Structure 1
Amino acid sequence: MDLSVSDAPVGRLLDRRYRVESLLARGGMATVYRGTDTRLDRVVALKVMHAELAADDEFVSRFISEARSVARLSDPHIVSVFDQGEDEGAVFLAMEFVKGRTLRDVLREYRRLDADLCLEIYEAVLSALRAAHDADIVHRDVKPENVLISDDGRVKVTDFGLARATRSQGNTTARGLLLGTVNYISPEQALGERATPRSDVYAAGVMLFELLTGRPPHSGPTDFVIVRAHIDEDVPPPSEVVSDVPPAVDDLVRTATARRPELRYADAGSFLAAVRLARAAIASGEAPGARHASQTPPALMSDPQGVQVPPPPPAAGHAAGDTADDDPAAGAIELADSFYHGYDAAAPGAAEPAAAGDETNASNPLDVATAFYHEAPALPPPPPPPNPNRTRVISTQPDTSHAGQSAENSGTDVSTGHAGAGRAGRRTQAQQRRRWRGPVMFILVLVLAAAVTVGAWWFGAGRWTSTPSLLNLEPDAAMTVAEEAGLSATADGEGFSERVEAGLVLQTEPGPGEQILRGGTIRLIISQGPERYEVPDVQGMTREQAETALTDRNLIPDFTERHHGEVEEGRVISQDIDAGDEVRPETEVSVAISLGPEPIDITDFTGQPAEDAREALADAGFNVDVDEEHSESVAPGVVISQDPPSGTGFENDTISLVVSKGPEVVEVEVPSVVGERVREAAKILEDAGFEYQVEPDFGDGGRLRRQRVLSQSPEPGSRVPEGSTVTLYIIQF
């Protein structure tokens, strides 16, 4: 199995079932999202492992084992895990969604909590941890962030991401790093030893100190300093920080946070019993302590939730020789253990296991359920033992003189008369009958008990057997294995799978290891291989047609819209996955829908150079039509007018420009002045409306009468604009 992982983006559908909706929190190993189970239409919390941890198989395995660990637990104060899966690299848990906030959030708001509220919360927390410890699971990360308070006041423990079975031999370190949170880590974990239920008890004790005082017991500038403090320093009593903490609560914290594990409560069950004792003692104004050796376990009473708890001890003192006199903490532990584990802590030898053959110590131990939820049933008194020294009368004479007379009415003593001898004989016969009747009845009882036991076994467990694993086998091979186990198997259904090859057994009902009646039939679900769908060609379709074509193939259309000059509005321009490709179900196919031609803003270029206007309009996608006109007021080459002058248009629309040619020109014929004297030539040109200039210029006008026009430009007879300049080329003689 590929265990690569990644975060799940909002909007993604995990395992074709869980829709990720919004981010809730980000932790050290995973990110938690609010999601919806689309099959059951319920809100769930989706815990998705961080992608950067994918390279570490240990972290991935621990993350997956959380689902298995919590699934084994049954307690109303534990956040339920509904499902676990992996979808294209995203390893996730689907969990119960608790609407509310964490105990850390509550602590931030109220700064600290009073002792009564703390103990009420702690009953729920320790109940959850007790369920874990009873299942041989250590939480290993008990802290306020992992305790949820719902809006309706329910208390839930979550995040078993570091949980590990107590039978595991692994220690608390990984690559030199401590697993857990330094403020709550136990001294033995800090020293690299294996975590036990007492480690959870320590963390719970530290958390109780923090709830009561508003701060953790140890602090420092670095994690190392805090860890060393857990190893070298005792947790102080909460009453040293706040004055209103009862002594009974101080004792709870001191015992739970003892640096030596053997001085703490054995597990969360013992801690829970101690908390209930402390609450009862505080309510009655007494201090919890060890009972007198002669006292029996007190009767159970009901707490406000209806759970039966032991009442406070009747007196605060201790009997002589009580171990609690020398060590109050040890006495509190033994007293709590006595109610949780079912022995009288004050009784001599109570904590010692029963020796082989010692029926007194081994008989009728109080178990957890009896101690907390039911009163112990009263045992019937044992029958009196036979007395080997009692006198028995044996008659040596036949009873002939008082035949027919009852011994009861004879009045004769059995030791002195024949009547007594007769009664003795009859009594001897009755005793003989009783002697053999007892063994017979005993044998009958044994036979009946054996029959009941065998019947109970058969109707309870004897009729059942475990389902063998038939996964990843061909159907014929699976049927053979089932027959060898005394069962039958039949192929009854198919399902898609990303991991199981088509044609092999994907799933069985019942599942491997589950109970099934002997001779029963196992239902085989056969793999169809990966579920794939061919992407249709939707280009040119309308939006509705494209949506139908994709959803019919279990694909998800993702529509976007954009302008297109050639595709009609409302029809598909393109799709991001080529038609004919085979993809997973629920794959998103991006489809672009045309909005028609894109509107283009029209800029007014009136009064601007025509060349600039033509270039800008062409770049915008317009066609430009240019006309020229004379203008007395607009310089040549400048736009006189534009149609349309503004607004919006579309690509390939035509914009008309009128460009100035300057003023309109009146052309006149150039008169001939060649051969004329310069003075007369100048007069002729001026009269015709022309300007003139002389080339070369010989200077003084006194000689003008000796200067004649040799040639002119423009030439005589040509037509030029009125007012043009005629150049006269002269010769002087």
Structure 2
Amino acid sequence: MINRTLDDRYTILEHIGGGGMADVYRAHDKLLDRSVAVKVLRSQFTNDDEFVTRFRREAQAAARLSHPNIVNMYDVGLDEDTYYIVMEYISGETLKEKIQNAGPLPVELAIKIALEIAEALEHAHQNNLIHCDIKPHNILVTKSGRIKVTDFGIARAVTSATMTHTGTIIGSVHYFSPEQAKGSVIGAKSDIYSLGVVLYEMLTGVVPFTGETPVGIALKHLQEDPKPLRDINNTIPPLTEAVVLKAMAKEPEARFSNITEMIADLKLAQVYMRDDQTRRISREDFPTQILPRITTNDNDRNNNNIDVIQEKVAGNQPKKWIWGLLALLLLGFSIGAFLAFGKFWSTNEVAVPNVVGKQVDVAKTILAGQNLRVTASETFNDKVPAGQVVSQYPEAGSTVKEQRTITIFVSKGGEVTVVPDLRGLNRRDAELQIKNAGLQIGRIDEQYADSPTDTVVSQNPRPPAQVNKNTPIDLVISKGTGPKKISLPDFRGTPLTTVNTQLESLKLKLGTVTEVPSDKYPPGTITAQNPAAATEVVEGASVDLTVAKGVAGNIKRAVVQITVPEGASKQAVQIVVTDTNGRRVIYENVHKPGDKVEKTIEGVDQVRVQVYINGVLLQEQTI
């Protein structure tokens, strides 16, 4: 696809991503002179008429979406047998890469990102379009920090067509909903579930369900509850945890009734998340003052506000539980505030030291030395050695009160994954499987093998080894069965002048020619070869030859002149020389009567020259 121009407009420049159904490229729009992203549908889906119809209809519907948190779709087209979608090109990183690089995100940031994703989904749902594949890989983070949801337009078409024809479940197993795992009807609440999983991963740095096989992970979505968020990261507020758990309810009826309701609760959680400035309490914030007596009307108004909160928290629960739940929440909030923010009556403030990259014990000692509390959470990180601090919150340099709790995220080393078996796969599919497993593409070598060209012959590490994520996987790719093998003939005793033609017919090359004196072979005759006769070599190999040269002696020269006698119209003329180096034919050709032949003769010591016409000796002389 590289350098191909679709519909004389979009020139493909580089491959920037891909999935199970399409590849994504960066391209140049020649008409508008801008960079765009082009998603190209893979060839195995192009022959299904119903799928192609749904693909075009859903892609065109997505192109009509217009929202600041959705990647804009510009065009849908068909060039020969290639179906493609043209989208806005985003320069940045995916949310998955952000989580892998930074570990768990600060709660405020995670809620902000979830809100922007939810608002994008709200716009799509209002236009009767379900995403079906919400995951961090499909969330782009621009350099300015704006969130962009991508992969609209193909997911609904793929799911519908695939379920109709094959019963295969399409989606990302770590993020899809229980109803997707069962292959049943999906709806807007499926997107809500997936968003809950994404928020879970942002807050903890890990996905809620893992397993050795996709089927095992899918069963966990159906049967198991995720590990409580606060068991992984105890700085997560209870209200934020409640939003995640409600979004990830197994039954769709138990989730938020729609994405708008989830947005409202995310904003409520955002209100309760206060930064350091709003949490700081100083004498100026609470001056000594005289308050008026609280009247009955004031109590009524306050009670009304409490009723509103009770309805929000408890829903339709009986009122006898409301007061208990409210008291529990208030108690928890008070205790949490005390533990998290320390002596809120104190006016002493300290600057948070930088402990990123330090061993956990050293980091705790440094923070304790500044009169700060410490809580540690573990996270996978293949770039930071186990036991060292990956990140901290609040960040270094922030001004906080004494006894404030500082959360440090400590590396557990690289996350372990199972190496997939890539043997027999073509190169592109093998590279995709490596990336999907969270691994890196290592060294790629090519060799001849009894396997189809461009397929994987072997790999290192071998399956089913368990390695850290981002470990490079080396591949050996087949170049096909290789050149034909040839058994070398015996060239000894053959004149060098006749060997070149023979080598060409065998698709071999003449290598080095070395002359060596020989009393056994006439000059110009091959006396040895390398490789030896009967050795098997491949087409294109070189053959080195050793050629006899004349023995040193008294060199004599003479000119022989012949006139072809009357007789047959074609007469074979042959001149033979015999000397110290042996007998050899130095001239042989066919002539007509009357032709004159003149040949310079050279020999060593006693030289005898014989001329034959049609095999009959015509003349003989000694030089």
Band of TM-score, shorter chain: 0.3 to 0.5
TM-score using structure 2 length: 0.47
**Larger relative contact order, structure 1 or 2 (CA cutoff 8 Å, min sep 6):** 2
* Larger Rg belongs to: 1
Whose strand fraction is larger, Structure 1's or Structure 2's?
Answer: 2
TM-score using structure 1 length: 0.41
